[in-house]
Amino acid sequence: MTKKPPKKPEAKSTGKFTTQTTKKRSTREKSEHVKTAKGRKTSSTKWLKRQLNDPYVAKAQMDGYRGRAAYKLLEIHERLDLLKPDMTVVDLGSAPGGWAQVASNIGCHVIGLDILEMDPIPGVTLLQMDFMDDDAPQKLIEAMKGQKADIILSDMAPNTIGHKNTDHLRIMALVELAYDFAKNVLKQDGAFLAKTRQGGTSNDILTMMKKDFKTVKHIKPPSSRKDSSETFVIAQGFRRDFGDR
């Protein structure tokens, strides 16, 4: 008599899928994950490589700063003697908090604002809201507790779309908003520092700054990446002597 071949063990049920089905499904999902990883965008890979090899990123971790941007403000301060103890400083676009840390470490009273949530910084007042909200300026003024500001810092930057002219217009719109706020809250001889883009600040804003401040210049600190188009406009010596604005 011919013996019948032994039956294959039945797959055990695990609910909707059998263990055999689940095994095949897991294998397929694993392959898709690997494929996605291999297909990572070149720009993302370049960014990661740049971060890993950036000495300022490593230095920020060692020095306890929340990001490499802290060194941009430090370098501008060292060049211009910008910050002094007991100054009232408003930091617009504060996240993740590197500039606020620098100013606070020098002994300034800092109020930071950003649309993103930030972890607390000792001695710093942080507001989470969009500076473009109608009530944002008033919230900042309330946080200043009746004091005028010695300096307004703006590291705000819009989401870019890759179109040079459009991106430039967007960042200049933020510079204009920050500047309008600064004119209302700065002390006599106060300062205004804002991130802009190479190609310069618009002529209209520069004309106003040169009228309202004693000195206006553009500066690109060493820690600003060479391949970055960012630069900073710094206006010092605010002229409030002809009355509040």
CA 66, CA 114: separation in Å to the nearest integer? Answer: 15
Whether 127 contacts 147, CB under 8 Å: no
Catalytic residue among 23, 38, 49, 195: 195
Whole-number CA gyration radius for the chain:
27
* Residue 24, both tokens: 């095949």
Contact between 111 and 94 (Cβ < 8 Å) = no
Q: Does the active-site annotation cover 195?
A: yes
Peptide bond into 158 cis (omega under 30): no
Please answer whether residues 197 and 230 qualify as being in contact, where contact means their C-beta atoms are separated by less than 8 angstroms.
yes
Residues 6+ apart with CB under 8 A from 236: 80, 189, 191, 213, 214, 215, 216
Structure tokens given for 7: 């039956």
Residue 99 parent element (H or E):
helix 98-106
Helix, strand or coil, per DSSP, at residue 71: helix
Longest dimension (CA), the chain: 116
Catalytic residue annotation: 195
